């Protein structure tokens, strides 16, 4: 027997079972709700996935990368600071030169005025000019030709006035250019400072997520990595059949007296914290340490590792001696001081202290010799 629905009046349709329309509708709603629930749950799971765990090796690479970038920016900051200092000195020198030229101008104007007044009064030269241009006042009076010398002196004073005025104008123009350059260096310095602070903050935030035991493992990972790189470097062969270790032992290059003083200063700073842009006496960055060490030895050197690499004489790695500076990374963004036995003293990075390390524990760009 078939069950007929109630037609267009909104009753049940032809379902084949009593009340079948309501059953289907109910079943459909349950299915829709179930599907929706699955969609919502899966959507929620997709929107907030649990990040995969990061290995300590990955954290190490990222932290080191951030610190390397900060150190490169630190070098730019220090370079801008040094250029700013030079520009300020140049402006001060220009100001002194301009003041001297202005004083000379005032004297020349007074002299020219005196000559003009004297010539206006009697058509001759003043007594001072007579004494200056002749062996004696009597000689001048006896020689009419000396009158022409007086005219030449007047023209000479006028020419000196013009030359001095030109020099003053030149000083003013140069000072304007120096001020413009100084402003540019200040902007570079501020930009580098912001970049440094951002990189250091990112590295610090990343390290802060680590548990204490993980931080200790990270430090050990750094030490193990450095030790491995040092061993590889010592075993490498800069010359066929001769390792770096053998070359350093054979060279026996002794430090100069200056080099000994520089090494003594640098090693005395071991244990002091790294702080970017610092030059001591309580904290240092890498080039700040080498700068002050060689300053203590009586030899001024450039402020930044990049300028140390660019300006100082280069020597072969196998010939380096205590006191030489080892420059690291392709951008010359790090520097340490060689102390002998394949070892350097350096200020590594924020969160670390001045310490001894293997000279080959980082990629070496080259070696330079301050003295």
CATH superfamily of the 211-368 domain: endopeptidase domain like (from Nostoc punctiforme) (3.90.1720.10)
Residue 31 annotated in active site: no
Which pLDDT score is estimated for 113?
Answer: 72
Any idea where the domains of the chain sit in the sequence? 56-207, 211-368
Residue 136 per-residue DSSP state: S
SS3 355: strand
Task: Tell me the pLDDT band of 10, cut-offs 50, 70 and 90.
Answer: very low
DSSP characters over 293-306: HHHHTT----SSHH
Q: Is the pLDDT of residue 156 over 60?
A: yes
Using left for φ > 0, alpha for ψ between -120 and 50, and beta otherwise, residue 19 falls in: left
pLDDT at 18: 42
Options 31, 60, 148, 346, the catalytic residue: 346
Active site residue 4: no
Mean pLDDT score of the chain, rounded to an integer?
A: 76
Residue 143 CA: distances (Å) to CA of 110, 136, 147: 27, 11, 8
Nearest-angstrom CA–CA distance, 258 and 312: 15
pLDDT tens figures, 47-69: 455 555 567 677 777 877 888 77
Rounded average pLDDT over 170-182 = 76
pLDDT at res. 161: 74
pLDDT at 16: 41
226: left (phi over 0), alpha (psi -120 to 50) or beta: alpha
Q: Does the pLDDT value for residue 253 go beyond 60? A: yes
Choose, from 4, 31, 60, 334, the residue flagged as catalytic: 334
ω before 281 within 30° of 0 (cis)? yes
In this prediction, residue 22 has a pLDDT band, given cuts at 50, 70 and 90, of very low
**pLDDT given at position 146:** 47
Helix (H) or strand (E) holding 315: strand 314-315
Q: Output phi, psi for 356, to 5 deg.
A: -90, 145
pTM metric for this prediction:
0.58
pLDDT at 43: 43
Estimate to the nearest angstrom the gap between the alpha carbon of 244 and the chain centroid: 31
**CA–CA separation, 299 and 293 (whole Å):** 9
Long-range contacts of 231-240 (CB under 8 A, 24+ apart): 232/360, 233/358, 233/359, 233/360, 233/361, 233/364, 234/342, 234/358, 234/360, 236/360, 238/316, 238/317, 238/318, 239/318
Distance CA 150, CA 129 (A): 7
Query: What is the model's pLDDT at position 174?
Result: 75
Instruction: Indicate the CATH number for domain 56-207.
Output: 1.10.287
């Amino acid at each position: 027997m078939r069950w007929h629905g109630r037609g267009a009046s909104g009753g049940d349709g032809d379902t084949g079972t009593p009340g079948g329309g309501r059953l289907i509708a109910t079943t459909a709603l349950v299915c829709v709700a179930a599907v929706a629930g699955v969609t919502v749950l899966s959507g929620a799971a997709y929107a907030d996935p649990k990040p995969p765990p990061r290995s300590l090796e990955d954290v190490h690479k990222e932290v080191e990368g951030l610190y390397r970038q900060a150190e490169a920016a630190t070098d730019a900051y220090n370079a801008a600071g040094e250029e700013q200092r030079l520009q300020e000195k140049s402006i001060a020198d220009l100001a002194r030169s301009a003041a001297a030229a202005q004083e000379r101008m005032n004297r020349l104007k007074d002299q020219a005025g005196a000559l003009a007044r004297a010539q206006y009064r009697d058509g001759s030269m003043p007594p001072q000019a007579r004494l200056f241009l002749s062996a004696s006042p009597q000689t001048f009076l006896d020689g009419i030709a000396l009158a022409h010398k007086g005219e030449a002196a007047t023209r000479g004073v006028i020419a000196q006035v013009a030359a001095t005025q030109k020099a003053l104008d030149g000083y003013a123009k140069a000072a304007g250019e120096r001020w413009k350059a100084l402003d540019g260096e200040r902007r570079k310095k501020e930009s580098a400072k912001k970049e440094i602070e951002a990189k250091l903050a990112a590295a610090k935030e990343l390290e802060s997520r680590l548990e204490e035991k993980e931080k200790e493992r990270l430090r050990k990972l750094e030490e193990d990595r450095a030790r491995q790189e040092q061993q590889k470097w010592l075993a490498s062969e800069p010359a066929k059949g001769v390792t770096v270790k053998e070359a350093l032992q054979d060279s026996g290059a002794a430090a100069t007296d200056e080099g000994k003083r520089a090494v003594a200063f640098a090693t005395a700073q071991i244990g002091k914290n790294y702080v970017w842009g610092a030059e001591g006496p309580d904290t240092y960055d890498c080039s700040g340490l080498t700068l002050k060490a060689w300053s203590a030895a009586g030899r001024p050197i450039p402020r930044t590792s990049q300028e140390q690499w660019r300006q100082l004489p280069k020597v072969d790695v196998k010939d380096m001696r205590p006191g030489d500076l080892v420059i690291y990374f392709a951008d010359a963004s790090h520097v340490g001081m060689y102390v002998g036995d394949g070892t350097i003293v350096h200020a590594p990075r924020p969160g670390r202290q001045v310490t001894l390390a293997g000279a080959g524990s980082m990629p070496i760009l080259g070696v330079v010799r301050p003295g």
